[in-house]
Amino acid sequence: MNGVVGYMYPNEVTLYWSVLIVLYPFITGLVAGAFILASLERVFRVEAVKPTYRLALLTALAFLLDAPLPLQLHLGHPERSPEMYFTPHSTSAMAMFGYVYLWYLMAVLVFEIWLDYRRDIVLWSQESKGLLRVIYKIMSLGSSNISERSLHIDERVGWVVTLVGIPSAFLLHGYVGFIFGSLKANPWWSSPLMPVVFIFSAMVSGIAAVMLIYMAVTKLRRQSIDMRCIDTVAMYMFYIFIIDFSLEMLDLVHRIYEADESFRSLDFMVHTKLFFSQIVVQIIIGTLVPLVLLFITQVARIREVIRKRIYVLCGCLILISVFAMRWNVVIGGQLFSKSFLGYTTYKMDLVTREGLFVAIGLTILPLVFLSVLLKLLPPWPEKTLHEVAAGD
């Protein structure tokens, strides 16, 4: 049957990875990107982005809490997932995810947030009342020393934790690209650039998400947006996006130049089944348009109100582009046969365990987590202790 174009063997027709597996690397990418933005202020001393520092940490935590849920829902028996901690398999990249996740969650992100908020938590535990007082007492871990020397130690330890957290963030998301890139049997995925592309696209999407959240929350609080901060965030987003796009184009040019036996099949995929999601959505709408708009903001004098609208539009388009990239990798890599002669189509359900509604819910859930975190740990210095206590 190898000579029959369009034929797929029965065991190749089923797509084992659904939209939830698309959502998983997208969410972890937002975590990594948000943490990298926070590290600009803590490690690299970019003072202009300081208004987004705490917000970026809380955003990373909110999305990190949501990150394992797509995988749990995808598993036929999610109750078996704790087994990977008790029966470790060091040669399995997927099995090692649990340890990477716990390390990043507990030893890096939560610890850094606690160090940064420790002084505020101690004060809130003294001035708050009711349930909030109990929560802050628990969060203080019995620590009440907020002397100048103690806070200086918190600052130095926090700097070290952030420094360690940068490669940890790369590891958290880079291993996803490593899994795809190491699958030699699938030419759509097998590329040494896959982990690097995943990391840079994660940085872009996370920075875009924090920028949009900062602008939205500031607007809801009826405060003025710090344009110096937003301009700086947009500048870093623009430069990283250029690197990300360059890497993706380098991978594409390499595939075209190499033109192995799978090239005709992949070329057919790009021109048919993935034309809209990759060429139109990912490259044209989601990449070229925001790159051009961001370039204009860097070289031309534009009114503040127009810049805000451009940044909102670019942030939304970048998030769409990165999600489309994850879609094209995960779903696109399953649409052709191993013989490169047959093709299939992915049909997404609406209300099943791995359907559209569940995916939308998992996308919104981190924003719910974030709203709780913002209420519990307000990142803005003008938020007084009495206002926090009054919210109980």
Q: Quick one: tokens of 134?
A: 């109990």
Predicted confidence at residue 387, as pLDDT, reads 45
Residue matched to tokens 């620590």: 143
Q: Residues 45-59: pLDDT tens digits?
A: 899 999 999 999 999
Q: Residues 216-255: pLDDT tens digits?
A: 999 999 999 999 999 999 999 999 999 999 999 998 888 8
Q: Which of 41, 28, 379 is nearest to 236 (CA)?
A: 41
- The top-scoring range by mean pLDDT among 237-246, 264-273, 338-347 is 237-246
Show Cβ contacts of residue 376 under 8 Å, excluding neighbours closer than 6 positions.
Answer: 132, 135
Banded model confidence at residue 88, pLDDT cuts 50, 70, 90? confident
Is pLDDT above 70 for 2? no
Q: Which region, left, alpha or beta, applies to residue 377 given φ > 0 means left and ψ of -120 to 50 means alpha?
A: beta
Rounded CA-CA distance 133/129 in Å is 5
Predicted confidence at residue 12, as pLDDT, reads 58
Mean pLDDT of the chain: 87
More confident of the two residues 73 and 364: 364
Q: Residues 128-172: pLDDT tens digits?
A: 888 999 999 999 988 888 999 999 999 999 999 999 999 988 888
DSSP per residue, 5-72: TT---HHHHS--S-HHHHHHHHHHHHHHHHHHHHHHHHTS--GGGGGGHHHHHHHHHHHHHHTHHHHH
Q: Quick one: tokens of 344?
A: 């299939």
Predicted confidence at residue 11, as pLDDT, reads 52
Predicted confidence at residue 381, as pLDDT, reads 65
Q: Which region, left, alpha or beta, applies to residue 179 given φ > 0 means left and ψ of -120 to 50 means alpha?
A: alpha
Residue ranges covered by each domain of the chain: 5-382
Q: What is the pTM of this model?
A: 0.91
Is pLDDT above 70 for 384? no
DSSP per residue, 302-354: --HHHHHHHHHHHHHHHHHHHHHHHHHHHTGGGSB-TTSS-B------SSSTT
The CATH H-level superfamily of 5-382 is Formate dehydrogenase/DMSO reductase domain (1.20.1630.10)
More confident of the two residues 92 and 121: 121
Predicted confidence at residue 283, as pLDDT, reads 95
Banded model confidence at residue 334, pLDDT cuts 50, 70, 90? confident
Of 86-90, 91-95, 293-297, the range with the lowest mean pLDDT is: 91-95
Banded model confidence at residue 187, pLDDT cuts 50, 70, 90? confident
Predicted confidence at residue 382, as pLDDT, reads 52
Predicted confidence at residue 389, as pLDDT, reads 44
CA 106 vs. chain centroid, Å, equals 18
Predicted confidence at residue 386, as pLDDT, reads 41
Predicted confidence at residue 110, as pLDDT, reads 94
Rounded CA-CA distance 327/343 in Å is 17
Check residue 90 and report its DSSP letter: T
Burial class, 52, CB count within 10 angstroms (exposed 0-12 / middle 13-18 / buried 19+): buried
Is pLDDT above 90 for 34? yes
